[in-house]
Chain A
Amino acid sequence: MAGIALLFVAAGVAVSTLVSLFNQRVDSVSLLLATVIVGFAGLLLFTSTKLGKTDQASIFTAVGTTWLIVSLFGTIPYLLAGTFSRTGIGIPEVFVDSLFESVSGFTASGSTVFGAHNPIEMQGSGILFYRQLTQWMGGMGIVILVVSVLPSLRASGLGLIDAEAPGAGVERIAPRVVETAKKFWYVYLSLTVFIALALFLFGMGPFDAVSHALTTASTGGFSTKDSSLGHWNSIKIEMVVMLGFLLAAINFTLHARSIEKKRFNYASDSEFKSFMGLIAVGVLIITLLLNLEGFSFGTALRNASFNVVTLATSGGYGNALGRGESGDFASWPGSTQLLLLFFIVIGGCTGSTSGGVKIMRFRIGIAHAYRILRSIRRPSALIRARMGNKTIPDSLVERVAGFVVIYGILVVSGTFILTVLGTDLVTSLSGSFSALGNMGPGLGEIGPTSSFVDGFSAPGRVVLLFFMLIGRLEIFPMLLMFVIPYRTSVNAIKSKK
């Protein structure tokens, strides 16, 4: 599977080479060379491996390994083009930066190591386009991409998608798994085209429009400008991006069903309603708080709605013109930052391209708490956890509880490691949440106008890139990938004895 995935990455690098050739021709040779290396590696892996047993353990190992290999090979274009080489840093740090950007791209996080020390706008269009493409490929999921072209996977395909997909699992929207995967990709492609056209219509150049459409549909958040969307300072563009983010953060099954039945059926979905309700309340409260801080109502509403949507959908664009400007939420009052942190943690809907804990899990958590408190009051009553009109099965509640517990443990351990490495508590905590939720920016030193180089040391960035991978695969596959070989070897030793 990793072989096919690498061939897709090679195709992406090839497209970026073409973009580079049509523009300033900077980095064309490096990108061409990267296409050959990645393509060759992919071909080699594809021909040298064959489909083995498809139990849960091998599915997790396959998905985890694919993401690791793709992220590692994704660094080659950056390394060959010397994107992160600068005076005063050694090869290990250049590699860490390349890997960080690659992982942040494929996991659609949007955290970046570009900054004032190494501006984005100094890069060639080929590398920039490749960077945007990594988010687009990773946004929907590399594994889904592979499954859609590999009919030989048959039933194990759904397990693979399940292991990668955000949320509590994937709903089959077509009889065949390959058809399901293809439908997801058609919706994704259509959304990208729609956003690109809208952005072009509202004043972006064709290159920027396509580049931003790729990272909007994937809720990635990479931009081709140093000040992100603040560069255009256009309400229309911000509105298009907000709409794009919202569409991308809604369960893709809803989109696919709506297209199929030619009828919008969103209002019947309780997760969708909660998501929109939370965003509306968040925008309202933050607008009022910013207004109280002295922002004019218009500015407060614009900045609150843009930043709430971008963080709730794990988008990660910024609309600040610079550090400390009105759109820079890292300089907003603590109360608004705490609310934004809440949205960073919660994230979007299940089955979407967004990250975070997800609205569904949040609702199950509340329903469960309500049920337990009621059952303590009425010990003999049989009380079920409910969400909308549906009863939540106990097994799902237990899965969500397990997920939330491990999420919390990871955040606490990540924050502790990062503080040991010298980062302040607010930056460490928000960095851990942001990386696990594939969010992009955070609070403190890693606001929307900052670089992760300013906020974290190289070892800190290594911790965060692992967190991004763990978060993208909804924690378990990546963790079990390391546990399974250990358990296998322990069992082997035991059986020998």
Chain B
Amino acid sequence: MIFSLFSKRSDSQSITYINSSIQIAVSRGILIGFSAAGFLAVLSGLIDLTDSGTDTAVFLIFGTLITLICSYLTRYVSEKKLARSEIFLSVFSGFLFCILCSSFLYLLLVEGENFADVFFESAAAFTTTSLTTLDFTNSGRGVIFYRTSSQLLGSFAALVTAVLVVPISDDNFGLRMPGRAATQDVFPDRKNAVKSITVIYLASLTLLTLILLITELDFFHSLLLAMSAISTGGFSRNTNYFENSSVQLLLSLGMIITGTSVVIIWRLASRKVGFMLRSSEFHIYLSLILGATFLIFFWADEGTASSLGKSLFFAISSISTTGFHISPFESWPIAAAFFILLLVTIGPMSLSNGAGFQVHRLRILFALLRREMIRQLHPRAVVKIRAAGENVREERVRQVVVFQFLFTSTIFITAMVLTISGMDLYDAFSSAVAAITTAGPIRNPDGLVIAVSSFSSGERLALVPAMVAGRLYLLPVFISLGYLLSESRNFLRPRRRILQAIRSNK
């Protein structure tokens, strides 16, 4: 849409300055990232007009300029088709530059903040991590809308990436539904997939906003809360809303939907209820929510209907990796703190808005475990890994194992950096988990939320790589980094560089 602002270049204009694959990938990422942030700024500027309008000019000028410049510059980037690793690099750099561009906008809008803080805020928004450092108490509608809608854009981009770009093997990870219906293509092509996801997003957002109007919330705040719930961002300027039982219940409903696979929701919208009822991943997801609610309710030891509602809200907020800032129960055992960490680590269904490990991967790991047990007894047996009654390809199993390895390593490295800066072990560990699952908030053993603004700038910045990696499902980020590393190694080797130049001239 943005790129169509300028007419297609003619043959005389077909000179492109960016031709190498790596440059094309990064450039496309930069342009998409910047224009997305610019587009959001224009929208926020218009929203700001409904309030005092003090930030409207900044939003509109910044947004329009960025969008126009990016649209113009696209003509200098070659239209060459990119390989999979280059697309990963493009997505990764797009995310990073969107965050960067957004940081500059915050610098213009929020007074007295340094770059590290605004960069963290921007990263938390686009990665849908429920952590915040800036003080939005006196901010206008435009700024609040920008902060909240950044989450929506971030989660939408991540989901589209998961559906269209990440599919590494063709089973169970991309256009096909994990589980019993894996043989059926749900979205026939990529264009339709994006269209369907957009429809799901808009419909669920509208529905939740309208339902929230039943409570005492006005339209704007209902919209903001709905955006935070649908995107699993969990940001809210006023945390008092969450103490209201009806708001809790409605948001719980929204979060259940957001943690459900888009494929199931699409089928449900197409009136194919049986599809949802047959999905074993969905059954596990619901069982986890129910089990967690029961356990939290049991630990809360209050026995009231409101505490049951709050337990449900806690459980869904954690498992969907939304992370709304809700106060803990008075009775909060140590096990509850660990259990919440466990829930956010498990995460929701695959192909949902949430991050974390996700239920389908966990099932594959359990199936792998079962196979190893059988192989111990029958070393020569050929045992297939089965999940939801279907064989899972070995390549996919290996990727899940590597995902587990990278997931654990990222938590360890992040916690290591945090402890070096002086944080204690528990806080470092829970911060690392909150960052990689893009859940937040960080809680102490008593369940109280630790304000991330109490961290040093270095500690906050240490969380950003885990947040970005977690939001983009790890593998694309690690593959991009590996690609960049190998390309820079090649670049530094003059002999190879000369040979490549000769080859390209031929």
The reply on A433 being an interface residue by CB < 8 A is no
Contact partner of A333 among B404, B419, B483, CB < 8 A? B419
The reply on B273 being an interface residue by CB < 8 A is no
Contact of A337 with B405 in the complex, beta carbons under 8 Å: no
Contact partner of B399 among A372, A397, A402, A476, CB < 8 A? A372
Closest to B483 in A: A377
| A residues 306-364 touching B (CB-CB < 8 Å) | 333-335, 337-339, 342
Contact of B373 with A480 in the complex, beta carbons under 8 Å: yes
* Interface segment, one of A174-182, A406-414, A446-454: A406-414
Which of B378, B405, B406 has the largest count of A CB atoms less than 10 A from its CB? B405
Contact of B424 with A334 in the complex, beta carbons under 8 Å: yes
The reply on B428 being an interface residue by CB < 8 A is yes
| A residues 466-485 touching B (CB-CB < 8 Å) | 476, 479-480, 483-484
The complex places the Cα of A376 from the Cα of B445 at a distance, in Å, of 40
Contact partner of A335 among B365, B420, B475, CB < 8 A? B420
Contact partner of A419 among B335, B377, B423, CB < 8 A? B335
A contacts with B: majority SS: helix
Residue count of chain A within 8 Å CB distance of chain B: 48
The reply on B422 being an interface residue by CB < 8 A is yes
* Interface segment, one of B3-11, B205-213, B336-344: B336-344
Contact partner of A403 among B372, B398, B415, CB < 8 A? B372
Contact of A373 with B402 in the complex, beta carbons under 8 Å: yes
The reply on A25 being an interface residue by CB < 8 A is no
Contact of A483 with B84 in the complex, beta carbons under 8 Å: no
The reply on A216 being an interface residue by CB < 8 A is no
When A377-B479, A408-B404, A425-B445 are in contact, do A416 and B338 touch as well, CB less than 8 Å?
yes
Contact partner of A405 among B168, B365, B412, B415, CB < 8 A? B365
Which of B337, B402, B478 has the largest count of A CB atoms less than 10 A from its CB? B402
Contact of B445 with A424 in the complex, beta carbons under 8 Å: yes
Contact partner of B372 among A335, A368, A406, A484, CB < 8 A? A406
**Would you give the 0/1 interface string for B304-342, flagging 1 where the beta carbon is closer than 8 Å to chain A?**
000000000000000000000000000001110111001
Interface pairs A-B: 3 shortest CB-CB: A402-B372, A334-B419, A335-B419
When A339-B416, A373-B478, A422-B334 are in contact, do A402 and B369 touch as well, CB less than 8 Å?
yes
The reply on A289 being an interface residue by CB < 8 A is yes
Contact of A416 with B342 in the complex, beta carbons under 8 Å: yes
Contact of B342 with A56 in the complex, beta carbons under 8 Å: no
Which of B368, B371, B425 has the largest count of A CB atoms less than 10 A from its CB? B425
Please give the distance in Å from B299's CB to the nearest CB on chain A.
9
The reply on A109 being an interface residue by CB < 8 A is no
Contact of B479 with A338 in the complex, beta carbons under 8 Å: no
When A56-B377, A56-B379, A408-B404 are in contact, do A335 and B416 touch as well, CB less than 8 Å?
yes
The reply on B375 being an interface residue by CB < 8 A is yes
Closest to B341 in A: A425
The reply on B458 being an interface residue by CB < 8 A is no
Q: Which residues of A contact B (CB under 8 A)?
A: 56-57, 60, 289, 333-335, 337-339, 342, 365, 368-369, 372-374, 376-377, 379, 397-399, 401-406, 408-409, 412, 415-416, 419-420, 422-426, 428, 443, 476, 479-480, 483-484
When A399-B372, A416-B338, A426-B426 are in contact, do A338 and B415 touch as well, CB less than 8 Å?
yes
Please give the distance in Å from B365's CB to the nearest CB on chain A.
5
The complex places the Cα of A46 from the Cα of B401 at a distance, in Å, of 44
When A368-B402, A425-B337 are in contact, do A479 and B419 touch as well, CB less than 8 Å?
no
| B residues 362-386 touching A (CB-CB < 8 Å) | 365-366, 368-369, 371-373, 375-379
Closest to B85 in A: A377
Closest to A443 in B: B425
Contact of A423 with B478 in the complex, beta carbons under 8 Å: no
Contact of B445 with A369 in the complex, beta carbons under 8 Å: no
Contact of B334 with A338 in the complex, beta carbons under 8 Å: no
Closest to A444 in B: B425
Contact of B376 with A334 in the complex, beta carbons under 8 Å: no
Which of A335, A399, A406, A420 has the largest count of B CB atoms less than 10 A from its CB? A335
